[in-house]
Structure 1
Amino acid sequence: MTSIDTTRGHKDASAKPRSRRPSLSRLLPEGSAGAVTHYVETQWPRIGGVALAPLPGDAFTNPAFTERYEPGMLTAIYAAGCGFDHASTGATGLVGVARRLLAAVHKVSTTTQTDLRSRLRELNADRYGALTTSADGYPCSDLGFDTWMMQHILPVGRPLPGSPIANGDRCLTVRLPADMTAREFDKQLAARMKGALLNGWLDTADGRKHCAILGIDPAHLKRGTTYRFNGGMRRTDDAEIYFFRPKTDDADRLLRLAEAIIYQHVMTPPSRRPRISWRSRSQGTRSDFNG
């Protein structure tokens, strides 16, 4: 495996872009800790696309579902952010990215760990999302990506009656069907949220236009992670960072996406489900892994 220097070109994520920002309408008062301080006429992507097809109101109480559904493993959907902490008042970590982009972004994913703090320890140990590109074009590691915190997910609406999804503490809890693995659910959720993925959006015409308005190189906002395995190391240029506001109707959209995944899995006969491998690439289970 090729060793990659993730410290060369190291920079502070709170550093101002070299070009001056245009005059923008202020949304928050000077000194506010919020990320979206100014208004920009950009249409942000949303998880699940423009419209979500609603499930029937009795989707989870109808015998057609209840007779097929067998409860299985418990998993949780979480939204996390990072940045300000007691050691630094600078806009580092993901909040630094959000403030430079003038958009609400969070890490959204799943975990089977019942104590979410265990997942936080892992994210902080990996400095998840710290990997980016320096001004001189080299991989570098941003500051502040060891201060991850779980966010409240507060949908306005409630889960459907009988739903296997529930509002938990700083998460949505999901009781998977017995024949569905946690990794499969995670990957299906990610596939449905893909359109709102930060890294992907930065490569679109809308993303490039927005960054040009702010005088930012899109490559400096993309996130990745360096995973270390004692003497080995693996770099990934992907990160589960989405345009997501956990205390708005984005939370409702997340809830409905999760319900749709469970419902469609249960109502689709096993013979008609796609045959897909959900092996973990981050652990080396991929055909191009060289050890």
Structure 2
Amino acid sequence: MTTHSNNAMLTPETGNGSVAQEPLLAAARRLLPEGSPGAVTHHLPTQWPRPGGVALQPLPNDAFTSDAFTKAYQPGFLISIYAAGCGRDHANAAATGLLGLARTLKAALHKVGVTTQTDPRNRMREMSKVHYGALTITADGNACSDLGYNTWALTHILPHNDPLPNSPVSIGEMVLNVRLPHDLPAEEFDKRLDKLMRNALLNDWLQSLDGKRHCGYLGIYPETLSRKTVYRFSKSMRRSDTAEIYFFRPKSRDADRLVRLAEVIIYSHVTQPQNRPQVSYRSLGQGLREDFKSPAA
């Protein structure tokens, strides 16, 4: 299982094309006390992306009580939006998973996704089974699997504010519960949410100017932090970009932004039917080609 990367991309850059000669971490202001298990231990001059962008689409307070919505909305399936992390393995201190990656970047990272399963913990079992997000690339261009991506667990989503009155989005015990319109499939809702959160996607950010500059501050290679997942199908294996690891703080204003994004998707779908996509999404979740071959028998 070997791949190669562009050698020019294996040099940490400051963002202006020059190589970062010395990591800036030693001079950075410490935010957490020495020995803290938290990820964001230092303040670095990086503007972290915010889920949904800087400005969220506003919704009026009566968005879900207005005639425009109530007369057109017909409730459909109930789904959940969850946030998850991994890397707490008491049997192997080296299996740090996404938590270890967050500590390396000095950033808040979580897997944010949608599930139709009544018990979202079953989704955690599935992700742990396939070691979701474990595949990365070494500095010399070889594919490898990091440890700790078989311990996925839910984390609480705790918004500061309630959803709008009569909102189809509600705050559950650990997840956001969403009652979809009858004609909005869960898969399409998931893709729309991904699109709105794209600016905070880890893999894309690592290739951006800000991402390369930040990695230059820390003296690390962006490619070694990217995430992929390997799916096995009988005798073949497929590699897929891991598309749902975001810069996301589930107990901060990011949680409020997530509520608003879900509300915007449903409100727009119900009140602006002319803007609905007329084609189906092509699923990229499990890869489109056979990247790896099983050894010959």
TM above 0.5: yes
Distance 1:281 1:47 in 2: 21
Whether 1:246 aligns to 2:250 is yes
Contact 2:231 2:239 survives alignment (8 Å): yes
Correspondences of 1:129-208 after superposition (within 5 Å): 129-208=133-212
Whether 1:234 aligns to 2:238 is yes
Deviation digits for residues 10-65 of structure 1, max 9, x if unmatched? xxxxxxxxx76433221111211111111111100001100112201011011110
SS of residue paired to 2:79: strand
SS of residue paired to 2:27: coil
Q: Residue 91 and residue 33 in structure 1: after superposition, are their counterparts in 2 closer, same or farther (change >3 A)?
A: farther
Instruction: Choose from 104, 112, 120 the match for 1:116.
Output: 120
Q: Would you say how many aligned residue pairs link Structure 1 and Structure 2?
A: 273
SS of residue paired to 2:89: coil
SS of residue paired to 2:211: helix
Instruction: Choose from 93, 103, 108 the match for 2:107.
Output: 103
Q: CA RMSD in A?
A: 1.9
Distance 1:73 1:210 in 2: 41
The aligned counterpart of 1:89 is 93
Q: Which amino acid aligns with 1:210?
A: H
Q: Residue 56 and residue 88 in structure 1: after superposition, are their counterparts in 2 closer, same or farther (change >3 A)?
A: same
Whether 1:277 aligns to 2:277 is no
Contact 2:112 2:244 survives alignment (8 Å): yes
SS of residue paired to 1:50: coil
SS of residue paired to 2:82: strand
Contact 1:227 1:235 survives alignment (8 Å): yes
Distance 1:252 1:135 in 2: 37
Distance 1:251 1:282 in 2: 24
SS of residue paired to 1:281: coil
Q: Residue 168 of structure 1: CA displacement?
A: 0.8
Q: Which runs of 5+ in 1 are unaligned?
A: 7-18
Q: Residue 189 of structure 1: CA displacement?
A: 0.2
Contact 2:240 2:284 survives alignment (8 Å): no
Distance 1:52 1:30 in 2: 36
Q: Which amino acid aligns with 2:204?
A: G
Distance 2:265 2:98 in 1: 28
Q: Which amino acid aligns with 1:165?
A: V
How much identity, in percent, do the aligned residues show?
A: 59
Contact 2:52 2:199 survives alignment (8 Å): yes
Distance 2:201 2:282 in 1: 21
Normalised TM-score (structure 2): 0.87
Distance 1:202 1:121 in 2: 28
Q: Residue 86 of structure 1: CA displacement?
A: 1.7
Contact 1:73 1:175 survives alignment (8 Å): yes
Distance 2:63 2:182 in 1: 18
Normalised TM-score (structure 1): 0.89
Q: Residue 225 and residue 47 in structure 1: after superposition, are their counterparts in 2 closer, same or farther (change >3 A)?
A: same
SS of residue paired to 1:22: helix
The aligned counterpart of 2:267 is 263
Contact 1:22 1:213 survives alignment (8 Å): no
Distance 1:214 1:146 in 2: 27
Q: Which amino acid aligns with 1:52?
A: L
SS of residue paired to 1:80: strand
The aligned counterpart of 2:16 is none
Q: Residue 276 and residue 22 in structure 1: after superposition, are their counterparts in 2 closer, same or farther (change >3 A)?
A: farther
Q: Which amino acid aligns with 1:276?
A: V
The aligned counterpart of 1:37 is 41
The aligned counterpart of 1:10 is none
SS of residue paired to 2:178: strand
Contact 1:22 1:214 survives alignment (8 Å): no
Q: Which runs of 5+ in 2 are unaligned?
A: 4-21
Deviation digits for residues 162-182 of structure 1, max 9, x if unmatched? 100000121101000000000
Q: Residue 89 of structure 1: CA displacement?
A: 3.2
Deviation digits for residues 224-258 of structure 1, max 9, x if unmatched? 10011122211013331100000000000000000
